Structure 1
Amino acid sequence: MKILHVDTSITGPASVSRTLSAEVVRAQRLLHPDAEVTVRDLASEPIGHLSGAHLLAAQGTVPEQEAVRNDLSAGRGALEEFLAADTVVVGAPMYNFTIPSQLKAWIDRLAVPGATFRYTENGPVGLAGRKKVIVASSRGGFYGPGTAAEALDHQETYLRAIFSFMGVTDLTIVRAEGVALGEEARAKAIDGARSEIAGLAA
Structure 2
Amino acid sequence: CGESIVAETGKLVPSVDKSKLEGNTKASVEAVGDTKLYENVIFKADNITEAINSADKSDIEKNANSLKIGASDLKLAAVFDLSMILRDTDSKGNVIKDADFKPNGKVKVSIEIPESVLKAFENILLVHLKDDGTAENIAYTLNGNIATFETDGFSKYAFAGTEVNAPTSSGETGSNTENNGSTNSPQTGDTSNIFLWIALAFVSVSTLTGITICSKKKKSR
TM-score, length-scaled by structure 2: 0.24
The structure with the largest alpha-carbon Rg is 2
TM-score, length-scaled by structure 1: 0.26
